[in-house]
Chain A
């Protein structure tokens, strides 16, 4: 008999949108301002809704949220956290329930040994996307606006970073980003991200910096 499929486990990067409110207009407006600087950033991008900040009594309208997010290029595929009732409602709306982010870091780390770093020695240009799977990413050239770096490990850029960099893409909160010249459009570690639509703070702009998550899971941008 011909084999109909192969089932494999894949740890694919997925964005988590941690909602603080269920006010649709507020979410819509802020998504709008976040994304209009980078209109082609999200297109059909899978995203999970983080519910842990919500009141457990709250009753999200998942069908409406699904539609709202899809208008911004985000495809709602599931939820994370939330009360059992909220999760049941999500399932009823056709969504998956993702396991809560493990408190134990090593559980999130891939079991296989990390691959050697992916080294790129040419400019990374607008529209290009580079993913270092289960590895660090080292770029020895400029990363231009509109380019995207993603790594499951750390990211090093020995040149100006003008595009986006996402380290710890599979949830490794220990991942860091090291940049020779900080001019990024977006930085993210383990899905906690910051955009710079209003410009980059003067004290770090164009400077060599490292980026990491502090214990409160806030992105820290620090000169070195």
Chain B
């Protein structure tokens, strides 16, 4: 059974696109046939992070308008087999997205792919609504700050009330909490929320914690998602994918340990 997974957050700039790129790459690396769709019409940037911006010929709006077939518009990822990207349009206005159009695309993708990952735009308006409406599961990307948690809460409420599953009275969207840009040191000093605080507020199962790291910026500049390199962020996203596939993996990158004597002496590895 193929699955539609939305990556959403309400708040902007929390790491949805970064997560979509790494999560879909991780699924593909684990052998799942995966498509990732950029729903952020007008602000195309998934293709940049995936390093395929020069190969975008057709985008999601072209497919909805019947100006291109899905096959023509899907771009094969350069880093993994099994992964295809459907870009957003930079030029069209976002009203070109329609529920019927999106449904048609998703249904067609589900025939060939195991997983369809939808990178939602920020906000709770039409674009975010389209991205989550048909979802079976959701990664709710949250940063350790009150405003981000509040917006995640809002989007969870909307999914519970207005998604296709909710409207049709089917089992609800399966929700996963993904905390990103987590800085253990600032959490320990109470400058930022702790994992437990966020879990206490949102009350949905935690699927992973991605540390704050400069490697993310470097990765998006080079057009190769961080999961392909050696870093804590890569490990964290691999854990997320493993847990999503049902494996029992202990949480990492959640506790702050003061550098010990030897570490201070020899520096960080």
Contacts and interface: CB of A to CB of B under 8 A. Distances in A.
Nearest to A162: B201
Contacts of A142: 201, 203
B160 interface: yes
Interface string B200-213: 01110000000000
B158 interface: yes
A141 interface: yes
Interface string A119-151: 000111111100000000000011011110000
A18 to B, nearest CB: 31
Contacts of B201: 142, 144
Contacts of B203: 123, 141-142
A142 B157 CA distance: 13
A126 B150 contact: yes
Interface string B148-165: 001101101110110000
A194 B150 CA distance: 22
Contacts of B158: 127
Interface string B122-162: 00100000000000000000000000001101101110110
B153 A126 contact: yes
Contacts of B151: 126
A147 B161 CA distance: 14
Which interface residue of B124, B156, B157, B201 has the most chain A CB atoms within 10 A? B157
Interface in B67-81: none
Interface residues of B, number: 13
Contacts of B202: 123
B150 to A, nearest CB: 5
Interface centre among A126, A128, A144, A146 (most CB of B within 10 A): A126
A126 to B, nearest CB: 4
Contacts of B156: 123, 125
Given A141-B203, A142-B203, A144-B201, A122 B160 contact: yes
A145 B197 CA distance: 14
Nearest to A144: B153
A147 B124 CA distance: 16
A127 B160 contact: no
A145 B161 contact: no
Nearest to A145: B150
A80 B106 CA distance: 56
Interface in B155-184: 156-158, 160-161
Nearest to A141: B203
A124 B201 CA distance: 11
Contacts of A128: 157, 161
12 contacts: A123-B203, A125-B156, A125-B157, A125-B160, A127-B124, A127-B153, A127-B157, A128-B157, A141-B203, A142-B201, A144-B153, A146-B153
Interface of B: 124, 150-151, 153-154, 156-158, 160-161, 201-203
Interface of A: 122-128, 141-142, 144-147
